[in-house]
Copies of this chain bind each other. A is one copy, B any other.
Amino acid sequence: MKNKRKIINDPVYGFITIRHPQVLTLIDHPWFQRLRRIAQLGLSHLVYPGALHNRFQHAIGAMHLMQSAIDELRLKEIHITADEELGLLTAVLLHDIGHGPFSHALEFTLVPGLHHEHISSLMMHRLNEESGGQLDLAIRIFSDTYPKKFLHQLVSSQLDMDRLDYLARDSFFSGVVEGQVGSERILKMLDVVDDQLVVEEKGIYSIEKFIVARRFMYWQVYLHHAVLSAEFMLVNVLRRARLLAREGHELFATPALKFFLVNDITDESFRTDHRALSHYSALDDFDITASLKVWQSHDDKVLSTLASMILNRRLFKIELQSVPFAPERVEAERYRLCERLSLTPSEAGYFVIHDKVDNRAYNQLSDNIRIKRKDGRVEDAALVSDHLNIAVLNRKVEKYFLAVAG
């Protein structure tokens, strides 16, 4: 089995062929299989019921696009060695390996201050040790320390295979057709000039379309007001659970979750306490949801109410605006809740959320998309596009929200 190619049925791309035994071995690793239990879009399925797809699918989809990109570039006589090919496939396959439960939702709650990309890097190094250094090249490409820069850009940049897959996939499963991108066309337009990934000039309209589709998905799906509400409610219920756990209250939790509720786990812990990574790699959406279910009948009113509201989709009402809400308004909402739900002010704080989001929460627009003109010059896409104001699109948009239990 291991030494023949394997075909996976994917509703987004049809059939995905895996040609490399080493890639199959990686997919079979428990850490990679864990991604089956982490929803790509956290709690978005409460708004878009189809959006149940997971990180496992996404990683495999991104790998599939990577294989296509490699094939296309080679047709244009861009040299990519067999080792580099394997490095690229491995790097993109593992780029999200460190994601925690519900993808982004709990990123800073369970392990405060620790970005999932940092954990991904830790896990890749550990896997590399296990495999006797087979992932060396993948790690160098991933961390951008490999000389051929365009390889890293395929893994992580404005137009990387990660983004191309997640837009296509999130759009497909949520049913939001406006997020569809013509990945196939974009892949055919890729080229490399001076070790930089570029897009042929005639692809400029596809690039504009891609950028607009991405923005569409941000506001319509990723930052949908009800999704925001659900995810911040989840943050609050876990904050409450941690408080209770540390105060010594009896509290059901799966062992992996309990570890993170009871202990203060930091960047430092991952270096000094082997249990940190071990428990982290055992943690997924199922620990959270199974625990929430039990918490519904806990004595603590804050915990049980929040757990029940999330599970039964009774979400906080949310308002968004471009300036912060007045402190008096926030205070008034909290006060009203104290009365209505017979809560202390500190308890009521769990039911009123004032925060902000921006459409750059998930993506870093630090680098540009480069266009290769017909005459060979390479220019920033924002300059080439004489119609669409890409510069405007790139602007970070912030929105403040106030979410209150209804």
Q: Which residues of A contact B (CB under 8 A)?
A: 5, 7-12, 14-15, 28, 30, 33, 36-37, 45, 47-50, 52-54, 56-57, 60, 75, 172-178, 180, 182, 184-185, 188, 205-206, 208-209, 212-213, 215-216, 219-220, 252, 254-256, 282, 284, 286-287, 289-291, 293-294, 308, 311-314, 322, 359, 386-389, 392-393, 395, 397
Chain B residues closer than 8 Å to A10, beta-carbon distance: 49-50, 175
Contact residue among B30, B175, B308, B393 (Cβ-Cβ distance under 8 Å from A11): B175
Other A-B pairs beyond A11-B175, A49-B54, 5, CB < 8 Å: A33-B311, A33-B313, A205-B216, A287-B293, A388-B393
Contact residue among B5, B314, B392 (Cβ-Cβ distance under 8 Å from A389): B392
Chain B residues closer than 8 Å to A313, beta-carbon distance: 28, 33
**Would you give 30 A-B contacts (Cβ < 8 Å), ordered by A?**
A7-B188, A9-B49, A9-B175, A9-B176, A11-B175, A12-B50, A15-B185, A28-B312, A30-B311, A37-B289, A49-B56, A50-B57, A52-B53, A177-B180, A177-B182, A177-B185, A178-B185, A205-B215, A209-B212, A215-B387, A215-B388, A252-B254, A254-B290, A254-B293, A286-B290, A359-B387, A387-B397, A388-B388, A388-B389, A388-B393
Chain B residues closer than 8 Å to A8, beta-carbon distance: 49
**What is the count of identical protomers in the complex?**
4
Chain B residues closer than 8 Å to A209, beta-carbon distance: 178, 212-213, 216
B49 and A57 contact, CB distance less than 8 A: yes
Given A290-B286, A313-B28, do A206 and B185 touch, yes or no (CB 8 Å)?
no
Complex A-B, nearest 9 residue pairs according to Cβ-Cβ distance, in ascending order:
A290-B290, A11-B175, A389-B389, A11-B50, A52-B52, A9-B175, A286-B290, A178-B209, A286-B289
When C-beta atoms are compared, the residue in chain B nearest to A27 turns out to be B313
Most buried by B among A12, A212, A294: A212
Most buried by B among A36, A291, A387: A387
B11 and A174 contact, CB distance less than 8 A: yes
Contact residue among B188, B216, B219, B294 (Cβ-Cβ distance under 8 Å from A15): B188
B387 and A392 contact, CB distance less than 8 A: yes
Chain B residues closer than 8 Å to A182, beta-carbon distance: 177-178
B30 and A312 contact, CB distance less than 8 A: yes
Distance (whole angstroms) from the CB of A362 to the closest CB of chain B: 16
Distance (whole angstroms) from the CB of A259 to the closest CB of chain B: 12
B15 and A254 contact, CB distance less than 8 A: no
Report how far A20 CA is from B47 CA in the complex, Å. 19
Chain B residues closer than 8 Å to A28, beta-carbon distance: 312-314
Chain B residues closer than 8 Å to A255, beta-carbon distance: 252, 294
Distance (whole angstroms) from the CB of A376 to the closest CB of chain B: 16
Chain B residues closer than 8 Å to A30, beta-carbon distance: 308, 311-312
Distance (whole angstroms) from the CB of A88 to the closest CB of chain B: 20
Report how far A232 CA is from B105 CA in the complex, Å. 34
B52 and A14 contact, CB distance less than 8 A: no
Chain B residues closer than 8 Å to A176, beta-carbon distance: 9
B220 and A216 contact, CB distance less than 8 A: no
Distance (whole angstroms) from the CB of A213 to the closest CB of chain B: 7
B184 and A205 contact, CB distance less than 8 A: no
Report how far A344 CA is from B255 CA in the complex, Å. 30
Report how far A207 CA is from B180 CA in the complex, Å. 15
Report how far A77 CA is from B290 CA in the complex, Å. 45
Report how far A45 CA is from B52 CA in the complex, Å. 11
Report how far A9 CA is from B176 CA in the complex, Å. 7
Chain B residues closer than 8 Å to A206, beta-carbon distance: 178
Distance (whole angstroms) from the CB of A229 to the closest CB of chain B: 14
A205 and B180 contact, CB distance less than 8 A: no
Report how far A11 CA is from B176 CA in the complex, Å. 7
Report how far A388 CA is from B387 CA in the complex, Å. 11
Most buried by B among A54, A185, A284: A185
